[in-house]
Amino acid sequence: MHIHVVQRGEVLWRIADYYNVSIQDIVNLNRLTNPNILVPGHALLIPTKNTYTVRRGDTLWKIAQKFGVNIQDLLRENPNLNPNLIYPGNVLTIPQRPKPEIDVNAFTYFLGNEAVPIVREAGPYLTYLSPFAYLINEDGSLVNIADEQAIAEAYSQGVVPMMSIVNFTTNVEGENLANIVLNNPDTVNTLQENIINIMKEKGYQGLNIDFEYVLPEDREAYNSFLESTVNRLHSEGFFVSTSLAPKLSAEQVGLLYEAHDYPAHGRLADFVVLMTYEWGWRGGEPRAISPVNEIRRVLDYAVTVIPRDKILMGFQIYARDWKIPFKQGDEAETISVSDAMNLAYAHMSEIQYDYLSQSPYFHYTDAEGNAHEVWFEDARSAQAKFDTVKEYGLRGISYWGLGYEFPQNFPLLADNFQIEKL
């Protein structure tokens, strides 16, 4: 696929004509609501074919650039072609780029029957699905969730269900709960038994441990819990992964970071999910939610202490809408990428692109006269993240979280990678 950024004055039929594809194909792939109106800065995915018909003014160099291939591969794919004599009407075969194979996980907090269509749509692009999440209690019991429908749909899509456990809620950070559980061997044993029982009962094949805001003094207790849990679950035939805060170094301070021992998790867990998102969090100032420049800083440290083939890079697939100027105490609204694009079109707001963070954004004024700043994801920012996974040679990607519509994401993911199916 190609990514075409709409320029001022462009119309869809000219874009379709340039790439020799149908207007309807572009409309369907990008889920455009009105093909007669385009907003400048909109990054459109353009479907491509394995063949290209030479047009007046084309050269081999131009064609190679258009399809992101080199001239040598183009000639190899078309052995009867004279590179010095190409004419309008010549049909060339475009070489296909080999795709690296990766694992893809996605968390979803849409549960019950609501999860079924969400998992069905995403299923072809996933290796694992993690319904979010079982909250641990002080006595080692777990708060049940309505995950049966999501698990059943995952199996129907050839996706491995992965149980997720947490020590926090949206209102409670969870450091005291973790302290109570992790430092009591009997409670740890009870928790592990309950985990195994639920996994067997519901059909989970693996576990993700997402303990956050663990007290720094509980770092070794957390490592000990992880080691004993891995040993018990491996003996039962299950795999274990963990979710880790985005650290820049081993010495990074803060409640979110200090108890997360990257080398220990890299040694013990089958793989880890790096939570490389939420720089632009809902209670903070407007900025990119998962900026690539910040992600790279995390990866630069992570790959020195965790095997690359154990790292899933986190990728958020939602948008945030802030009122500006930002005031302390304000909270941004979390919306889908499709909702963000609808806002841009409703207000005819030109989409800007921040090349440092590799993230799009725009401004608009609502009906009450309030100014807004929206940061979201598009085909360009998704491609930048996929390129980062390739560059660092990672195991794959973990999405947070399913249910926010981002129609370009999965087709572009499949265009870049072969998704591992277990």
Catalytic residues: 212
Residue 237: Cβ-neighbour burial (10 angstroms; 0-12, 13-18, 19+): exposed
Three-state secondary-structure class, residue 325: coil
Please give, one letter per residue, the 3-state secondary structure of 254-266.
CCCCCCCCHHHHH
2's tokens: 């190609």
Cis peptide before 401 (omega within 30 of 0): yes
Q: Write the CA distances from 369 to 164, 361, 376, integer angstroms.
A: 43, 19, 22
CB 124 within 8 A of CB 201: no
Angle at 89 between CA 84 and CA 95, to 5 degrees: 70
Roughly what angle, to the nearest 10 degrees, separates helices 379-392 and 409-416? Answer: 30
Q: What is the C-alpha separation between 238 and 381, in angstroms, rounded? A: 35
Identify the bridge partners of residue 143 per DSSP, sorted by sequence position: 135
For the stretch 184-192, contacts whose Cβ atoms lie closer than 8 Å and that sit 24 or more positions apart, written own/partner, are 186/140, 187/138, 187/139, 187/140, 188/140, 188/225, 188/228, 189/140, 190/139, 190/140, 190/141, 191/136, 191/140, 191/141, 191/142, 192/228, 192/229, 192/232, 192/233
Q: What is the C-alpha separation between 79 and 62, in angstroms, rounded? A: 19
